[in-house]
Structure 1
Amino acid sequence: MTDFPTAEAAEIKVSFVGAEAEEAFDALELDRDDGRRRAIHFWDRPRRSAGAEITLPLLEQNVILRLRRDREGSGSKREADLTVKLRPCPRLPSPWLREREGEQWEFTVEEDRPGPAFKPVLAASLQAEREFEAALDAERGSFGRLLAEPQRELLDAVGLTDGRLEDLTALGPVHAVRWKQEWDELPRTVTIEEWTTDDELRFLEVSVRADLEDAPEVQELLTRALRERDLTPPLTGETKTRAVMTALARTLGL
């Protein structure tokens, strides 16, 4: 028997792209030296269709495989984590209908609410801590060994067995910087994350978490707080993960 897992929290997001991301960076007075620098890679099996469009089969099945690791260098924590994300989340068997955790892994369920419409999308994520050196090896091609056993079980529950996870291609790196800030207007910590790629694609996302019953109010508070910082939330939204993965796939010369 399967059902949709229940979310009790929401992540409310407003994303700025390109020149708007640069303007937001300046308006928020960000300094990259104050943020946590990470490298991000995704895995999929990109193809170019007859119409020259890039297709990403795993993403089309609403499955995201994402590795984050600290950038090497002075002050690096040398930490890494791998996330299996289902968005929108399908029906799942009973072990996955509630949040749970184990040694070095955590399964969470929440609503993603991206602006400007803030339409809720059910998302389930299983994040597992990984060894830093193993993360570096995965970026060079040995992805299969990086999956934790609970992640394999979750992927199997949505029909992605080990055989369907062979010959995946690493898409990256995305250069990420993350800041945590306390804004007087909002009840919880604000997360700001900048993503850039070598071909100069740029995103800046401002997000805050809230209990489901508080989400509509927090959406208004976040929008108002951005306007008070001379930032007008974009009238259209774009999922940064899809845009970045597609852009990275184009660089492969398919």
Structure 2
Amino acid sequence: MIAMDTKTEIQNHHSTPTSGNNGNQQSSSHQQTNSSQLCAGCGKHIQDRFLLRALDLLWHEDCLKCGCCDCRLGEVGSTLYTKGNLMLCKRDYLRLFGNTGFCAACNKVIPAFEMVMRARSNVYHLECFACQQCNHRFCVGDKFYLCDNKILCEYDYEERLVFASMANHPILKRHASGSLPGTPPNSIPTSVSSPISQNGHHHGMMQTISSPRSQNNDMNNNQNGLNGVSSPFGTPTHMKQVITTN
């Protein structure tokens, strides 16, 4: 980032012509002043009332422009940005050479101009937005779970819950209900939306939805009301008989 002087009024020194050596000195001094006020952009003399000073050079107001959007830099602020031989306004510099942050999956920088996917406060490259267990690529409308700050597909999330329950209660798990436990507080089921651009326009919003396992829990609760005990191997034999009789 380079500081740029705002409009500076050119001081014109008007002197009455005199004869002799003094007159020649004043004339040469006036020519040196005019020659030093050459525009670095077009190479012509700056005869306007105001000029701009940037990069230790003088510029016409119309010649000091952003190399990308062609806006006049003297009108958009008092600073300019350079990249190589390119002068840019702040907006284009950040858009081209800034960054959105680091991808939560690969930990690499995400350029500001790239489309991204978001889950809570995490940001992802489009190619990195996949299940971090099986590398399944999500499509729009697919459900995923953010568990322990990792993205999981529905299958791997449920599998993780089953293994965690079996590790904690290996004996009780054999006689427990076939329904999966509820969603832990640190995980959220979410539907995949379209990518989000970095220019502030969202092409889709992620919406938190209810877990499909809540419906299974309701069905298991109804079975518990009828039988008192549920089984991971299906409906008990006497219950099947009742259903068949009806």
Range into which the TM-score falls when normalised by the shorter chain: under 0.3
Structure showing greater relative contact order (alpha-carbon pairs closer than 8 Å, 6 or more residues apart): 1
Q: Kindly indicate which of the two structures has a greater share of residues assigned to strand.
A: 1
TM-score (norm 1): 0.17
TM-score (norm 2): 0.18
